[in-house]
Amino acid sequence: MPMLEPHLKKPSNKGLPFAPEIMILVTLRYYANGSFQKLDGDVMNICQQSVSRIITTVSNSIALQMKMFVKFPSTVEDINQVKQKFFEVAQFPGVIRCIDCTHIKIRSPGGMSSEVYRNRKGFFSINVQAVTRPNLEFFDLVARWPGSTHDSFIYNSSSVKQSLNIGDLQGQGMLLGDSGYAVSSVCLTPFLSPNSIGQEMYNNYHIVTNLGFETIKTAD
């Protein structure tokens, strides 16, 4: 990743003596398997302390690139292309994004307020809201709410809902979410108890169209 190299190279000899390619591979391995840093380092004969510094450096460098890649379409033409790609998935018209939250496990932060990070499944986490496009790319990420925060609260507090409600360029279409969100004129959710063939078909098309985000969550 040439765009990361300026951030990964150190200005003095006190930095890490590893090529950017090695640093990226070590970090991606850690992201992928979530194992102990020592095990990741053993694969490339790198000590745990160096692995820790590598992961921190590369993660910060990737974060600096976020606004370049994680963003909404900027033109009407781009939005129409997104709608068309969503439509090609399951013929669901007018969809411009899918939304859901996923829990990223963390250690207990300690202190009096630590329990707000414990989610309904019993572990400590950050509840991360992600808005995606049909080819498994991200439009938007919100990663600041503790694990006990409900998905709908995060959505209601986000700029995503605001843009849909005011109908600006980014609000020219529908949002698909699961039953954790309230159905509205701009956010469509599945029927909890479908009682007709039409409602069952709607649910099926909704699930298939929204499947991309579920694929991302499964890979977490």
Contact criterion met (CB below 8 Å) for 132 and 98: yes
Per the structure block, which two tokens stand in for 2? 């040439």
Least confident of 48-62, 120-134, 165-179, 194-208: 165-179
Q: In the predicted model, is pLDDT for residue 140 greater than 70? A: yes
Give exposure, 185-218, as e/b (b: 16+ Cβ within 10 Å).
ebbbbbeeeeeeeeeeebeebbeebbebbeebee
Q: In the predicted model, is pLDDT for residue 6 greater than 80? A: no
Report pLDDT for 146: 96
Least confident of 47-51, 60-64, 180-184, 205-209: 47-51
In 3-state terms, what secondary structure has residue 188? strand
How many residues in the chain? 220
pTM of the shown model: 0.75
Question: Which pLDDT tens digit goes with each residue over 27-57?
Answer: 888 887 766 666 655 666 788 888 888 889 9
Phi, psi of 74 (to 5 degrees): -105, -5
Question: Which pLDDT tens digit goes with each residue over 52-90?
Answer: 888 899 999 988 988 888 888 888 898 899 999 999 988
Per the structure block, which two tokens stand in for 69? 């890649």
